[in-house]
Amino acid sequence: MGAIGNRLTSTANSLNIQIENLTRSESGLADTDLAEEVSNLQQGLLRFETSIRALSSQLQNEQARSRLLDFTI
C-alpha cells in the first residue's frame, strides 16, 4: 500500500503543478490586448506590402534600363 500511496501522491502533485501552469497560461492569454496585437499585425503587413512595392518598382526600373541599353547598343 505504501508504494501505491506514494505513486498517487506523486501523480496528484504533478496534476496540481499542471493545473497551476494552465491557470498561468490562461491568465496570460486573457491579459493579451487583442486590439493592440491586431494593430501591430496590420502595421507589419503594411510595411511588408510597401517593401514589396518598392522592390517591384526597382526591378521594373532595372528592366527598363536594361532594355534601353540593349536598344542603344
Q: Tell me: the pLDDT tens digits for 34-65? A: 888 889 999 999 999 999 999 999 989 888 88
Query: Does residue 9 share a domain with residue 28?
Result: yes
pTM of the full predicted structure? 0.50
**pLDDT at residue number 5:** 82
**pLDDT tens-place string over residues 5-26:** 888 899 999 999 999 999 999 8
CA distance 9 to 12: 5
- Here the cell at position 41 is 499585425
Domains identified in the chain, total number: 2
Query: Does residue 41 share a domain with residue 20?
Result: no
Alpha-carbon dihedral 6, 9, 15, 21, rounded to 10 degrees: -100
Residues in the chain, how many?
A: 73
Query: Does residue 71 share a domain with residue 40?
Result: yes
Instruction: Give, for 32, the enclosing helix (H) or strand (E).
Output: none
User: Which residue range is the domain that position 61 belongs to?
Assistant: 33-73
